[in-house]
Structure 1
């Protein structure tokens, strides 16, 4: 008998890429399993999931809008509509299990599945659980987590520590440091920094880096700088006098090359970014995005800082502190080695398979 699984959620790459990793692991365990993704219409999963080779259906759901309260007038109707759409999908597809990875579409699908008695599994990526998952957690069969102390949000008996799934392009990369530096047109034997703020960039990090460009030149430190779309032209113009050792990119597809080339990484503190950084074992300076839901990025970063596995600069202090923190770290070999060793202990390149096995157990 063919097994059927729905994977629901999305909205950002931080939800979509783990979902695809779990789907791929399920296919490795059981190639004949039938997987359907459910996302939110108009969001990036509607494009990314089919590119990965899986079918997806969209719900007409959106988040609470904090900046334009008028837009929330339609929210109750959208929730009712998306719950009805979820019911219809469950009736048609008849899944054995529904997996929620967070994001808009998770709530209606898992809520309806739980009411129909279909087993559900939640994959909570962050150290501070989102509202949706907290609501759904009480009736979920399994909750896969990546951080300690999650029993403050969920029933302890349902928790399984699995870590967060990381893209296979990073876990299985065989690129050498020499190849990575050559790819970016950089020299061997010089300290190299990789800075990025997620796919859309991070203005505060970019502004701080722009002010430091002369210092990179004086200290002969190389920089791979992923700016995102909005800051790309500004950064490119500012970096033009230093083009030999500062490489500006709007977006980097070969993230494994960028990580391999780097001695130190500067980044936000999204759960999936951290999962990748643990696998590649690099010293990281975290600048958490302060407006993320429930300020979860700060909680994510602090959980590593408490284990001496990373450094933390507040977003509001990055323009004043980044230079001193970065250049003193690059001079401090002992601290770099300590950070590398401790972040490496937290890496899990097998999380997708561990989660997939838990999904399969719910069908037996």
Structure 2
């Protein structure tokens, strides 16, 4: 019989993209498989999942309050209602396995599947979130991205990435990529983004150094986030500085770039290394410090630099980033150092685990 795989990874691109990379790998290994994604009405999955051709089933979100409020008192009721609706979805689609990637969609999925449908957990960060800490307790298999992740029975597989990323030939695509974005075909080019929603500190620092970047002959492709706006002064005769709300084609963005300045979420760090791009990582200053941990392997290998968010200013961009982007030999050395980092086959390794667990 054909397997039905349910993936739970809604909210941000960091949860959704690995889930979709797994979905693609499952379909390559078992073309007859059905893959269904769980999500909520408020997440980015409403845009990304249908665009990749997978059905999306919406369930009520269960966000955990950060402070003691009346919402905390209502939490058990919210969980119960979400689990009930999630269980109905699993029954209706005939789920053979649930694969959770963390976040507020995974928690009700784990509770709904417990004792009914086998569970596989994937954790991208070295410090697991609450949902995956719970789910790992009753999962059949637990896959993690990096060694030392404190989950029971953890197997290191890496982070599932899209084949359009792991098979990317940046050199072959460069001319097409730069034409696609309206970039200078020959200028050294900096790619800038701050995650799927953008990052104000990165936006301010890099756009504030537009004059220095232009004077150095550097082109810029800057994804500022769909909820942010970015107005950049134009410098006639210099390579264009191209602001966009969101990058629909990350493969072309990576192909267009010589260097990337970005956050260091687990998926971003894995993608940047996989395509061999030198990076300036600016870890998110909040949370438990996992973004700095994500950046460390590339920094230690000589493939990346790390700049604390508080230190990122227009002056720092002019002082650190401009000399890097314009030094072709250094860019080549850093790009070579990135090759070999990570697990390029993580999508199919995880897909085989999932298919083994569902017994089909």
Map of 1:216 onto structure 2: 213
1:316 maps to 2:310: yes
Say what the alpha-carbon RMSD is for the aligned residues: 2.4
Provide, for residues 137-187 of structure 1, a one-character-per-residue CA deviation record: whole Å limited to 9, x for no partner.
23222222222222xx112xx322222122233334455222223333333
* Conservation of the 8 A alpha-carbon contact between 1:9 and 1:40: no
1:102 maps to 2:96: no
After TM superposition, give the deviation of residue 212 of structure 1 in Å. Answer: 0.8
- Secondary structure of the corresponding residue to residue 161 of structure 2: coil
1:205 maps to 2:171: no
Aligned residues: 355
How far apart, CA to CA, are the structure 1 residues paired with 2:30 and 2:282?
40
* Conservation of the 8 A alpha-carbon contact between 2:191 and 2:259: yes
Return closer, same or farther for 1:256/1:5 CA change in 2, 3 Å cut-off. Answer: closer
- Secondary structure of the corresponding residue to residue 361 of structure 1: helix
* Conservation of the 8 A alpha-carbon contact between 2:123 and 2:145: yes
Map of 2:276 onto structure 1: 281
Q: Greater CA deviation, 314-323 or 238-247? A: 238-247
How far apart, CA to CA, are the structure 2 residues paired with 1:220 and 1:49?
38
TM-score by length of 2: 0.89
Structure 1 residues not aligned, in runs of 5+: none
TM-score by length of 1: 0.88
Map of 1:27 onto structure 2: 27
Map of 1:301 onto structure 2: 295
How far apart, CA to CA, are the structure 1 residues paired with 2:272 and 2:351?
22
How far apart, CA to CA, are the structure 2 residues paired with 1:240 and 1:329?
22
Q: How does 1:152-301 map to 2 (within 5 A)?
A: 153-155=150-152, 158-173=153-168, 175-232=172-229, 235-236=230-231, 238-241=232-235, 244-291=239-286, 293-301=287-295
How far apart, CA to CA, are the structure 2 residues paired with 1:4 and 1:229?
34
How far apart, CA to CA, are the structure 1 residues paired with 2:2 and 2:227?
46
* Conservation of the 8 A alpha-carbon contact between 1:39 and 1:57: yes
* Conservation of the 8 A alpha-carbon contact between 1:38 and 1:105: yes
- Secondary structure of the corresponding residue to residue 83 of structure 2: helix
After TM superposition, give the deviation of residue 191 of structure 1 in Å. Answer: 1.7
How far apart, CA to CA, are the structure 1 residues paired with 2:178 and 2:217?
15
How far apart, CA to CA, are the structure 1 residues paired with 2:93 and 2:125?
30
